[in-house]
Amino acid sequence: MSDERLEVGRFGEEVAARYLHDRGFEILDRNWRTGQPRGELDIVARQGGGDLVIVEVKTRRNLVAGDPVGGVTAQKLVKLRRLAHAWLQANPQIRPPGVRFDVIGVLIGQGSTRTQVEHLRGVV
């Protein structure tokens, strides 16, 4: 992946983490990997000690490639479920009542346009 794409992704994840924090979410983990090339969880969070929230963040600089949240495929959601299970096994002290999967799309503002955040809850 190019340095520019990594930078855009990091920016979007920072925006998403700040957005969640400002809405009362506790960020438990960011960019969590299993140690194998199975993938990564962008953000693992909780709100008010309730369900574990697995957040996939998609960031775009423009809409040429489509809306950011549209970049999350059914295949990606299956992968996120596997990774969430692995995260829970690696963190047995966390025993949430349930697990929810959210997607946050970040569209980076250009010029006088502000960066936009779209939060879809419970996508699975």
User: Which pTM was predicted?
Assistant: 0.90
Structural domains in the chain (count): 1
Judged by DSSP in three states, 109 sits in: coil
What is the per-residue pLDDT across 49-68, written as a single tens digit (0 to 9) for each? 899 999 999 999 887 777 88
124 against 99, higher pLDDT: 99
Mean pLDDT in residue range 4-22: 93
Q: Give the Cα separation of 104 and 55 in Å (integer).
A: 7
Residue 1 has a pLDDT of 58
What is the per-residue pLDDT across 89-108, written as a single tens digit (0 to 9) for each? 999 999 999 999 999 999 99
Identify the CATH number of the domain in which residue 110 sits: 3.40.1350.10
Domain that holds residue 53: 3-120
Beta strands 99-107 and 52-60 are: parallel
Find the angle CA(92)-CA(99)-CA(103) to the nearest 5 degrees: 125
Judged by DSSP in three states, 4 sits in: helix
Asked if 100 and 54 count as a contact pair (C-beta separation under 8 A), the reply is yes
Q: What confidence category does residue 37 fall into, taking pLDDT thresholds of 50, 70 and 90?
A: low
CA dihedral of 29, 35, 76, 78, whole degrees rounded to 10? -100
